[in-house]
Structure 1
Amino acid sequence: MAWMTLFFGVAIGILLAIPAAWGWSRRTERRVRQLEARARTAERLAELGTMTGGLAHEIKNPLSTVGLNVQLIQEDLADLADVLPAPPEPEDGQTLPQRHGDPPRERLARIQKRTDGLHRETARLRDILEDFLRFAGRVELDRQPTDLNALCDELIDFFQPQADEARVKLRCDLHADPAIVSADPALLKQALLNLLINACQAMTLAREKDEPSGGNSELILRTANTKSAGQDQIAIHVTDTGPGIAPDVLEKIFQPYFSSKRGGSGLGLPTTRRLVEEHDGTLTVHSDQARGSDFVITLPMG
């Protein structure tokens, strides 16, 4: 009887194990298919990134040639303007000449205006391509122990003339304790500089348009020690007293190609966030309309 009990126990165990094994097999198979699909998607995205990066480079080279030639044409037009005779003064009652009969200087002025516009648009396209290449390209960090307080001091000295020109009061408030992180100083400076430039532009534009804002055009660069999940961190605040950011805009500002500024490429903040994330950090923002915004870069210490 004991053997029969054992037999039935084993049989029942096998019968119970079969559905479990079948379910586990199906889940494993489904998981493998999902991983394969993700791998194919990642491969296609990598190929697309390589293609678009190469395309941007191919466009940038002839665009630079176009820009150079436009500049040379502008110089030739300026030289031509110096040797053309001055237009005659119209007599009383004389009608303005038709376009095809306009004096040479007036026709030259129209050509100069068009070439100036062409030069501006060429420069804008070049800037867009450079922003794209910075955003889409690989980021290779030259990590080294970096004192963020010293880095912020250097950045303040560098940015002070631009702040003065924009009539923005630049202030630095650094934590008393050392703030050492493993970082690429040049790329981290670039990320912070992008935030400072954006803040300056926002305050200047609000002042020119007489929009509600914090009112005193003050830009503060501040460091503070903090913790997250038991890990020591350092936070760098870029705080302005500008117009703030509307909630519907705030949720989009890190999306590539979204820009609330006329003529902006929409890649400045996404590139900044990418540089911060490459340093294992985070970039967050808190904004109050008509009071200002606070962008915070948080990095692990050590």
Structure 2
Amino acid sequence: MSTRPEPAPDPWAHVVTLVAGLAHEIKNPLSTIALNLQLLLEDWQRDASTPRERRTLKRIQVLQRETTRLVGLLEDFLRYARTLHASPQPCDVNRLVQEVLDFIAPQAARQKIRIRTVFAPDLPTIQADPKLLKQALLNIVINAEEAMPDGGELIVQTAPADGLVRIEVTDTGVGIPEHHRSKIFNLYFTTKQDGSGIGLCTTRRILELHGGTIALESEVGKGTHITIQLPLAPPGHHPAGAAP
């Protein structure tokens, strides 16, 4: 009887665990500081009449804003560092994609973004974790929306592809410069002033957990095209009743 070798331990897993623990320990007192700064800010806003008091109020506002930003950054990191466990179940990809688009539709309408879908009617059902897959897709379409501040078109297509399911997301936004494209899925890489650089990295992580891939093409001034390919089942997954 042959035995399968044990997978090599991930050298970064221990580091990620340590950093996540440190981030958690920092987040708790930082949240308390942010809350107290908010209370202090409310007190000073009621009675800041002299130039000195107004200068103090402005400094408190800066401290409160930056502390809140750091708390948000730590929360994003902790979500990323959390071990992902997929719970695969039969998923209708067309339906799942439509639910994501329904969620972002009000904001798209406010930005004058037209959403167009081209769904393959014969798309096979896949085994995937619907919550994780929705999170991955939501990160992509939100980025597409943000790339079209003055309106545009968001096109989402699905199709079967040689035992895989393909999802394509195209926007007519500002596009991504060539020197940024290779880094767009890297942790903490962002071109947004208030971005965390975690969303698209998390998306890639979720797709890889499902045995999928993600690819990006973009042209400045014309838009971005993202292609996702997912297998019908994640690696090592055997539906109930199926032989391993």
TM-score normalised according to structure 2 size: 0.85
Report the Cα offset of residue 105 of structure 1.
4.1
Q: Which amino acid aligns with 1:217?
A: G
Which ranges of structure 1 fall in alignment gaps of 5 or more residues? 1-37, 82-103, 208-215
Q: Which has the higher helix share?
A: 1
1:137 aligns with 2:115: no
Q: Structure 2 counterpart of 1:265, which letter?
A: S
Deviation at 1:294, TM superposition (A): 0.9
Q: Among 159, 182, 188, which residue is 1:251 paired with?
A: 182
Structure 1 counterpart of 2:142 = 197
1:117 Cα shift?
1.9
Aligned length: 228
Is the partner of 1:119 in helix, strand or coil?
helix
Structure 1 position 135, deviation (Å): 2.2
Q: Which runs of 4+ in 1 moved over 4 A?
A: none
Q: 1:248 to 1:185 in 2, by over 3 A?
A: same
1:206-225 CA-partner distances (Å, limit 9, x unpaired):
x4xxxxxxxx6111222111
Which of 159, 171, 185 aligns to 1:224? It is: 159
In 2: Cα distance, 1:290 partner to 1:134 partner: 33
Picking from 39, 63, 66, the partner of 2:33 is: 66
2:239 corresponds in structure 1 to none
Pair 1:270 & 2:201 matched = yes
- The one-letter amino acid paired with 2:107 is Q
Matched, 1:181 2:112: no
1:273-300 residue CA offsets vs partner (Å, 9 max, x unmatched): 0011111111111112221111122111
Tell me what 1:52 maps to: 19
- Tell me, what secondary structure is at the counterpart of 2:127? strand
Q: Is the partner of 2:13 in helix, strand or coil?
A: helix
Q: Deviations over 1:29-82 (max 9, x none)?
A: xxxxxxxxx95xx4653321211010011111111111111111122223335x
Distance 1:165 1:70, change over 3 A: farther
1:168 maps to 113
Corresponding residue for residue 229 of structure 2: 298
Specify the structure having the higher radius of gyration (Cα): 1
Any idea what the Cα deviations from partners look like across 1:76-114, whole Å, max 9, x if unmatched? 223335xxxxxxxxxxxxxxxxxxxxxx34333333322
- Asked if the contact 1:77/1:112 (under 8 Å) is kept, the reply is yes
Match in the other structure for 2:45: 78
Aligned to 2:3: none
- Residues 112 and 171 (structure 1), Cα distance of their counterparts in 2 relative to 1, 3 Å cut: farther
Alignment-mate amino acid for residue 79 of structure 2:
R
C-alpha separation in 2, matches of 1:168 and 1:123: 31
Unpaired runs of at least 5, structure 2: 1-6, 234-244
**Structure 1 residues 221, 112: closer, same or farther in 2, change over 3 A?**
farther
Q: How high is the sequence identity, in percent, across the aligned residues?
A: 46
CA distance in structure 2 between the aligned counterparts of 1:78 and 1:121, rounded to whole angstroms: 18
- Judge conservation of contact 2:123–2:159 (CA < 8 Å) in 1: no
Per the TM alignment, residue 192 of structure 1 is displaced from its structure 2 partner at its CA by: 0.7
Match of 2:95 among 146, 150, 154: 150
